[in-house]
């Protein structure tokens, strides 16, 4: 059985770290790939469309949905680690 601790500071540090990482990925995908790097990515085609356009219109949404599932899984693991999960 995994060792459970009641460390509020550690829990919030892990939670804020997860949120920070999710927001960084969100920012890089939406702003970086969809706007800043779009002209460079447009030389690559995906499904007949330039990759920069694809990221701005479709790719970011797929990544955001993936981030939701990743966040839910990881926050569940953090909750179990610090014994604050719901049964």
Q: How much is the pLDDT for 70?
A: 97
Instruction: Answer for the pair 11, 75: CB distance below 8 angstroms, yes or no.
Output: no
> Phi and psi at residue 18, in whole multiples of 5°?
-65, -45
Cα separation, 29 vs 56, in Å, equals 9
Beta strands in the chain, from DSSP E residues, in sequence order:
45-46, 49-50
- Residue-wise pLDDT tens digits, 14-72: 999 999 999 999 999 888 888 888 889 889 988 888 888 887 888 888 999 999 999 99
pTM of the entire structure?
A: 0.78
More confident residue, 61 or 2: 61
């Amino acid at each position: 059985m995994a060792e459970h601790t009641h460390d509020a500071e550690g829990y919030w540090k892990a939670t804020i770290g997860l949120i920070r990482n999710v927001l960084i990925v969100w920012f890089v995908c939406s702003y970086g790939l969809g706007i800043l790097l779009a002209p460079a990515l447009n030389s690559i085609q995906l499904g007949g469309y330039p990759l920069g356009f694809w990221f701005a219109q479709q790719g970011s949404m797929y990544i955001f949905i993936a981030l939701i599932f990743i966040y839910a899984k990881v926050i569940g693991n953090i909750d179990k680690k610090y014994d604050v999960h719901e049964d």
